[in-house]
Amino acid sequence: MVKLDEVKTLNAALLAESRRPLIGVFLGGTSGIGHMTARALTSSAQQANGHAPRVYLVGRSEQRGREIVEELKGDLPGGHVPVRAGRGPIAHGVRRRHTKEGLDVTMAMMYYSRMRAIQQLKPLLLKSELPAAVVSVFAAGFEAKLFRDDLSLRDPQHYSYLQARSHLCHMHSAYLAKLAETHSDDTTGKLRLVHIFPGLVLTSAFDNPAYPAWFRFLFNRILVPLFLRPFVAVDSDESAARMLSLASPVLYPAANVGDGGGETGTGGAVRGMDGSLGSGAYSLDWKGDDIHNRKAYAKLGDDGEVEALKNQVWEHTNKAFEIIAAGKCFTE
């Protein structure tokens, strides 16, 4: 477990040592973990007396975005917090629901849109003189059954939320690992990719109208106060500090930096998805430790099969992007 004190030290160093203002882009920054992490960034900058960071918040609710801008500006006089709002569907579901691009809504929200954002922002990340960390907050380690001949889960017999979650985790792991590999000879030693399960963090997500009223009542009025908040949930400030610390290269260095301590040279890199220390692509539990589900991968067969899956997911995902960018519907 990465101790909370260490997390705070990493964050202070990240802000204090940065020679330029840090830039944080929060997709889903208008509530929950994204909002809290943006706030952790601005308040850490203030405490570390570092440069005021530049924060971009992306979400659907422009009003909520503007309220958060006002809140963050309190921490960040002179800081810059633009908001980008857009329309989008609500995820979660027991049945596959298509977007007009031909993707399942839940899979689009939790996987395709995230990988697309990484690919679109990658040129800027690689050009930047700042540490370039990408963090996807979802469900690392929850890989289970995989239908290799139906990655999109188009067969209704294959689809359930849990099955979709399993595919989303397999696809996160495969795509991020492949992306790290494709940059392993990048001498700038920049790109660091993290998929993390944040634990249970009590956000407004659990009051989402997509859930049935009975579930919301039982969860928010009974389970949260009696059991979850006191015994199970991760404190929201702690969670935000932990998410921010993933931007530090000390524990999670880029692929070509190895285990020699990342860009800061202090040692102690965490094991990456491929099993080696500091491999550039990490699958983490809420405490920042490696949680890559090696059992699920062992079931695939030998290393050759794992490699084949990586290539399959890479090609599937990039093909989806190509077809959709051309204005067509993805049907595979």
Q: Where do contacts with ligand NAP occur on this chain (CB under 6 A)?
A: 28-34, 59-61, 64, 86, 88-89, 109-110, 137-139, 197-198, 200-201, 203-205
Instruction: Kindly tell me which of 59 and 189 has the beta carbon lying closer to ligand NAP.
Output: 59
Instruction: Kindly tell me which of 30 and 44 has the beta carbon lying closer to ligand NAP.
Output: 30
Nearest-CA neighbor of 157 among 147, 148, 169, 172? Answer: 147
What's the min distance (Å) between Cβ of 317 and ligand NAP? Answer: 18
The H-or-E segment that residue 296 falls in is: helix 294-298
> What separation in angstroms does the CA of 304 have from each of 153, 183, 278, 310?
24, 20, 22, 10
What's the min distance (Å) between Cβ of 154 and ligand NAP? Answer: 21
11 burial class (0-12, 13-18, 19+ CB within 10 angstroms)? Answer: buried
Instruction: Kindly tell me which of 46 and 203 has the beta carbon lying closer to ligand NAP.
Output: 203
Amino acid at residue number 95? R
What's the min distance (Å) between Cβ of 89 and ligand NAP? Answer: 5
Collapse the DSSP code of 277 into the 3-class scheme (helix H, G, I; strand E, B; otherwise coil) and give the result: strand
What's the min distance (Å) between Cβ of 202 and ligand NAP? Answer: 7
What's the min distance (Å) between Cβ of 158 and ligand NAP? Answer: 21
> What separation in angstroms does the CA of 177 have from each of 180, 186, 258, 273?
5, 15, 15, 7
Instruction: Kindly tell me which of 4 and 200 has the beta carbon lying closer to ligand NAP.
Output: 200
Instruction: Kindly tell me which of 88 and 267 has the beta carbon lying closer to ligand NAP.
Output: 88
What's the min distance (Å) between Cβ of 234 and ligand NAP? Answer: 8
Strand partners, 282: 194
The H-or-E segment that residue 164 falls in is: helix 161-182
Q: Which residues of 265-284 are buried (b: 16+ CB within 10 A; e: fewer)?
A: eeeebbbbbbeeebbbbbbb
What's the min distance (Å) between Cβ of 25 and ligand NAP? Answer: 13
The tally of CA atoms less than 13 A away on the side-chain side of residue 260 is 7
Instruction: Kindly tell me which of 174 and 196 has the beta carbon lying closer to ligand NAP.
Output: 196
Instruction: Kindly tell me which of 208 and 266 has the beta carbon lying closer to ligand NAP.
Output: 208
Q: Which residues of 285-314 are buried (b: 16+ CB within 10 A; e: fewer)?
A: bbebebbbbeebbeebeeeeebeebbeebb
